[in-house]
A and B are shown apart, each in its own frame.
Chain A
Amino acid sequence: MKQTTTLIEYATKKEHWKNNINKAGIVGFFLGPYGICFALFFIFPLVFGIIMSLCSFDGSSIYPSQFVGFDNFTKLFTNPILARDFWKSVWVTIRFDLIIVPLSILIPLGLALLISMKPPGYKFFRSCIYLPGIFPLTATGLILLKMFDYRNGFINAFFNVSIDWFGQTNTAWFMIGLFCLWCGMGGNFIILCAGLENVDKTLFEAASVDGCNKIDKFFHITLPAIKPQLFICLFTTFIGYMNLYGQLLILASNTPDQSEMKSAVFRIQDMLIGNSKGYGYAAAMGICLGLIIIVIAVVQLVVTKERKGGSKHEEKFMAWKKSR
C-alpha cells in the first residue's frame, strides 16, 4: 500500500517540478538577456561604486588599494578644498535646475497647447519641435560656440552687439539654459502632446455651459487632466538636469570663473583625470549626489501624491440637515 501511495505522490511531484522548470525556463529565456544586461551595467557598477567609495586608491592601478571605511565621505564634508568645490557645484547645479525645470515644462506645454489646436501645418511644426533633440550634443554645442563667438560670431555681428556670451557667468548660464531648452524641448513636448490628446472633449462643453472662459477651462480641465504627464516631465527633467555635464564641458570650458560654472558631475569628472588617486572621492561624490537626487525625488513624490478626500463636506451636510 505504501508503495502505491508513494508512486502517486512521486508522479505528481515530478509533474509539478517539470511544470515549474518549464515556466522558469520560459521566464529565464525572455528575461535572461535583460537580466544579464541589468546586472552587468547597473547592479555591478552600483555595487562596485559603493565599494570604491569605501576604499582609497594609490594612483598606480584602477583597483582600490586600501579599505578606509567612511573616510572618503567625511573628507567630502571636512576637507576644505573638497567640500568647498563639491558642495558649491551641487548648489550651482540645483540652482540651475530650479530655473530650467519650470521653463523646460512650461515652454513645451505652451507649444503642446498650440499644436493641440491643430492649426494648418501642425504636423510639420510638431516634427520641427522634436528635431533638435536628435542632433548630437557636441556638434550643436560647437556650432553654438561659433555662432555666439565674442569677436567673430554671427549673432554679435547680426545684432550689432558686443557681448561676450561665454565670458561672464550669467550670460554663460543663459547660453547653457538656451542650449538645454533647445535640445530638451522635444521630449517633454511629445509627452504633453500625447497627454493633451486624451482630454475628454465633453468636459469642455460642460464647462462652457457652466460658464468658464478659456483660462478657467485651462486651469480646471486641461491641467488636471494632464497631471500624470506633468509629473513624469517634472521627475525626469529634474533628474536629468542634475546630471548636467556635456553642455557645460562644451560651452563653458572657456569661462573664466570655473567654480561658478562647474556642475556636480563636472567635479566628479575632474576627480578622474590624471592618475587614479581621486577615484575614491569621485565614487563618494557620486553616491552623495545620488542620495541628494533620491531625496528630492521622494519629496516631489510625496508632495504630488493624490490625497484622499476626507469627509469634511459630509460632516457639514449632516450638520446642515440637522439644522433644518
Chain B
Amino acid sequence: MKRKAYSLFVLAAVLSLMGCNNTNNEISSVNLSDDGDLVRDENGNIVYENVKLKLWSVTTGDDAAVQDTIINRFNQLYNGMINVEVTHHSRYDIESLLANTMNFDKDNAPNLIFNHGSKAVEYANNKWIYDVTPFFEKSEIQFDKEDFASSLLDAVTLDGATYGMPIDCHSVMMEMRLDILEKNNLKVPTNYYELVEVCDEAAELAQNNNLWIRGENSQGYDAITWRKASNAEEYTAFPISFGDMWVHEFFGYTAAIQNGGSLVNPENQYPGWYSQESVNGLQVLKDWIFPTETSVNKNPLSKDYGSSYDVGDEPFRNGSAIFKLQGPWSYQNDLNDFDRTLAKDGGSDNITTRNIGKMLALDDSKPYASKIKGEGHALMMVSTTTSLTKLCAETVFMDYIAYSSGIEWAKRGHIPAVNSVAQSEDYRNDPEYDKYIKYWGAPEDYVVVPPTKFYTHIDNYFKGALQKILAASFKDQSIDSILKQEYEDCIAYINLYS
C-alpha cells in the first residue's frame, strides 16, 4: 500500500512538472507583406466567397435579440460572401470561457469578440487579440480614428496599437416624475445645485404636509389620484443604494470625475483616484445620504439603504421618490408601465429622462463637469485566426457594426461610439431620438476607464472605498482616510505582482 501511494505520488509529480515546462503558446503571426490567401478580382478588390466568421458576444437577453437582427441584416447584405455566426455569453461566463479556450482549446476559438473595451488591454497583454490597424489597411476599409469618441478609443489603445474598434458606450441615466415636479411647482434640474434645490424643497414641503404625490402603493391608493405625502418620515426624492449596480458601477465614479478626479494615472497605469478632487466628489455622494452643516443639501436626498441590494422601482412608481437611477435599456419598459397605469392622465408623458452630466458637479463651468463614467463595447480580432481573407472580412463586419447600427442600438441604451453616426440624419430624425435618446448625451460626454493592466484591482478597491464611504458604520471616518487606506492597499497588491 505504501509503495502504491509512493508511485502514484511520483506519477503525479512527473505529470505536473511536464505541465510546468509548458511555456507560453506560440501565437503564429500573420505575414502582412503578401496577400496570403486573399482572392482579388480584376480591379484589385478583395473577393469574399463564403467566408464564415464566429463571433462571441457579451450581450444577453433583449440586447442579444437586437444584436442578432443587426447581424442578420449584415448577413443578408453580404449573402454568399461573408456570414457571421454569433453566440451569446454572459459577462460572468465569458472570461473563464475565453481563458480556457485560449489555453487549451485553440481550435474552437472564435474569430471576433464583442466585449467590454476595458478588457482589450488584458487580452492584448495575453497576446489573445491583434492590433487591428494593419488589417484595416490591408482590406482598405477606412478606420477614421478622429471620428471615434476619444475616451473609448483610448481604452483599446496600448503602446500606440489599437486593439479593437469601439462600438458603443452606456452609463446609468436618471428618470424623473414630471407630473410631481409640475404639481409642486418644481423645475426640472439641469445641474447639481438645482437638483439639491428641488429635493430640499420637496423634503420641506413634505414636512409641512404640502407635497403632492401620486402613485399606486400598497395602502390602496391608485395611480391617478393626488394625495399629500405623509410627514411621518423624511421625504427623500432621489434614493440611491451602493448595492445597486447603477451606483457602484457608474454613479460613484461619475461623482469623482465630475469634480476633477481621474481614475487611472496615465504614466504608470496605477490608480489615479486618490486626490482631493475625488474626495470632493465623493463628499457629494456622502452628503446625499448623511448631510452635515457644511453640505450643500440640508435634507438627505436618499435614505440610507445600507446593505440592501437595490432601491427598486417602487419608490419612483408610488410617488415616494421623484428621481431614480436606471439603465437606459429599461426606459422603454418604464414608458410602457406609465402608459398603462396613468393612461387616463397623460400616460408616459408623466416621466422623462436625463443624463447625469453636471448632476454631481460642484462647479459646472469646468469642462469635466458634464462627463459621465460609462462602459463601452468594442469588437476585437482574436489572434488565433491566420487566414488573411477571414481577417479582412472581419474588418468589413466591424466597420458595418460601428457605422450602420446606430439608432437601433441606441434604443437599447447604447450610445454609438462614432461621432458622425450620432450626428447623422438617420440617427436624429428617428422619433425615439427626439423623445428621449437626445437627453442621453453625445459620445464625447462618456468617459471609460483608461487602459491599464491593473484594471481589476483599481476597480475593486475604488468600489470598496465607495462602499465604506456610503456606509452608516463608517459615517464618522473621513473620506480622505478611507480613500487613502484603500489606495495604499491597492498599490501594495499591484506592487506584489510586479
Task: Answer whether A and B are interacting partners.
Answer: yes
| A55–B17 CA distance with the chains assembled, in angstroms | 11
Partner of A145, one of B304, B309, B312, B464: B309
| A236–B473 CA distance with the chains assembled, in angstroms | 35
**CB pair B305 A44 closer than 8 Å:** no
Partner of B492, one of A80, A152, A172: A80
Q: Which of B5-13, B328-336, B342-350 contacts the other chain?
A: B5-13
Once A55-B20, A254-B242 are accepted as A-B contacts, the answer to whether A151 and B305 lie under 8 Å apart by CB is: yes
Once A47-B16, A152-B308 are accepted as A-B contacts, the answer to whether A79 and B496 lie under 8 Å apart by CB is: yes
Q: Which of B82-90, B109-117, B119-127 contacts the other chain?
A: B119-127
Main secondary structure of the interface of B (DSSP, over half): helix
| A238–B149 CA distance with the chains assembled, in angstroms | 56
A116 within 8 A of B: no
B190 within 8 A of A: no
Q: Which of A244-265 contact B (CB under 8 A)?
A: 254-258
**CB pair B456 A167 closer than 8 Å:** no
Nearest-neighbour CB distance to chain A for B7, whole angstroms, equals: 10
| A2–B421 CA distance with the chains assembled, in angstroms | 102
| A202–B466 CA distance with the chains assembled, in angstroms | 66
Nearest-neighbour CB distance to chain A for B389, whole angstroms, equals: 29
**CB pair B9 A43 closer than 8 Å:** yes
Instruction: Identify the closest chain B residue to A55 (Cβ).
Output: B20
| Count of A interface residues, CB-CB < 8 Å | 45
A164 proximity list for chain B (CB < 8 A): 304, 306-307, 472
Nearest-neighbour CB distance to chain A for B495, whole angstroms, equals: 8
A166 within 8 A of B: yes
Interface size class of B (residues with CB under 8 A): 35 or more
B22 within 8 A of A: yes
| A166–B308 CA distance with the chains assembled, in angstroms | 8
A230 within 8 A of B: no
**CB pair A61 B496 closer than 8 Å:** no
A73 within 8 A of B: no
**CB pair B497 A278 closer than 8 Å:** yes
Partner of B126, one of A64, A168, A172, A275: A275
Once A39-B11, A63-B19 are accepted as A-B contacts, the answer to whether A149 and B309 lie under 8 Å apart by CB is: yes
Mark contacts of A64-81 with chain B using CB atoms, 8 A cut-off: 1 yes-contact digit, 0 otherwise.
Answer: 110100000001000111
Partner of B306, one of A64, A150, A278: A150
Nearest-neighbour CB distance to chain A for B307, whole angstroms, equals: 4
Nearest-neighbour CB distance to chain B for A83, whole angstroms, equals: 11
Nearest-neighbour CB distance to chain A for B476, whole angstroms, equals: 13
Instruction: Identify the closest chain B residue to A40 (Cβ).
Output: B12
**CB pair B496 A82 closer than 8 Å:** yes
A165 within 8 A of B: yes
| A148–B11 CA distance with the chains assembled, in angstroms | 51
**CB pair B496 A44 closer than 8 Å:** no
B468 within 8 A of A: yes
B43 within 8 A of A: no
Partner of A44, one of B16, B23, B125: B16
**CB pair A274 B8 closer than 8 Å:** no
B307 proximity list for chain A (CB < 8 A): 150, 164-167, 172, 254-256
**CB pair A258 B8 closer than 8 Å:** no
Instruction: Identify the closest chain A residue to B456 (Cβ).
Output: A274
Partner of A59, one of B4, B19, B468, B497: B497
**CB pair B125 A59 closer than 8 Å:** yes
| A254–B308 CA distance with the chains assembled, in angstroms | 8
| A169–B306 CA distance with the chains assembled, in angstroms | 12
Instruction: Identify the closest chain B residue to A146 (Cβ).
Output: B309
Nearest-neighbour CB distance to chain B for A248, whole angstroms, equals: 13
Instruction: Identify the closest chain A residue to B490 (Cβ).
Output: A81
| A12–B16 CA distance with the chains assembled, in angstroms | 43
**CB pair A51 B305 closer than 8 Å:** no
B489 within 8 A of A: yes
Q: Which of B220-273 contact A (CB under 8 A)?
A: 242-243
B467 within 8 A of A: yes
A145 proximity list for chain B (CB < 8 A): 309
B103 within 8 A of A: yes
B474 within 8 A of A: yes
B19 proximity list for chain A (CB < 8 A): 48, 63
Mark contacts of A176-204 with chain B using CB atoms, 8 A cut-off: 1 yes-contact digit, 0 otherwise.
Answer: 00000000000000000000000000000
A81 proximity list for chain B (CB < 8 A): 489, 492-493, 496
**CB pair A63 B20 closer than 8 Å:** yes
Highest count of chain B CB atoms <10 Å: which of A55, A75, A80: A80
Nearest-neighbour CB distance to chain A for B219, whole angstroms, equals: 14
Instruction: Identify the closest chain B residue to A45 (Cβ).
Output: B12
Highest count of chain B CB atoms <10 Å: which of A61, A75, A145: A61
A35 proximity list for chain B (CB < 8 A): 4, 8
Q: Which of A189-245 contact B (CB under 8 A)?
A: none
| A75–B495 CA distance with the chains assembled, in angstroms | 12
**CB pair A168 B473 closer than 8 Å:** yes
| A79–B495 CA distance with the chains assembled, in angstroms | 10
**CB pair B496 A60 closer than 8 Å:** no
Nearest-neighbour CB distance to chain B for A257, whole angstroms, equals: 7
Partner of B456, one of A51, A60, A64, A273: A273
Nearest-neighbour CB distance to chain A for B144, whole angstroms, equals: 32
| A172–B471 CA distance with the chains assembled, in angstroms | 14
A62 within 8 A of B: yes
Partner of B127, one of A39, A60, A277: A60
| A59–B473 CA distance with the chains assembled, in angstroms | 37
Once A149-B308, A151-B305 are accepted as A-B contacts, the answer to whether A51 and B473 lie under 8 Å apart by CB is: no
Q: Which of B392-422 contact A (CB under 8 A)?
A: none
| A273–B308 CA distance with the chains assembled, in angstroms | 25
Q: Which of B1-38 contact A (CB under 8 A)?
A: 4, 8-9, 11-13, 15-17, 19-20, 22-25
B138 within 8 A of A: no
Q: Which of B306-358 contact A (CB under 8 A)?
A: 306-309, 312, 314
| A61–B104 CA distance with the chains assembled, in angstroms | 10
**CB pair B8 A64 closer than 8 Å:** no
| A275–B493 CA distance with the chains assembled, in angstroms | 13
Nearest-neighbour CB distance to chain A for B489, whole angstroms, equals: 6
The 10 closest A-B pairs by CB, nearest first: A81-B492, A256-B471, A164-B306, A166-B307, A274-B456, A167-B306, A167-B307, A47-B12, A48-B16, A150-B306
20 inter-chain pairs at a CB distance below 8 angstroms, sorted by A residue, are: A39-B8, A43-B8, A44-B16, A46-B12, A48-B16, A51-B17, A62-B103, A63-B19, A75-B496, A80-B492, A81-B496, A151-B305, A151-B308, A165-B307, A166-B306, A167-B473, A168-B473, A256-B473, A273-B456, A274-B455
A residues with CB within 8 A of B: 35, 39, 43-44, 46-48, 51, 55, 59-65, 67, 75, 79-82, 145, 149-152, 164-169, 172, 254-258, 273-275, 277-278, 281
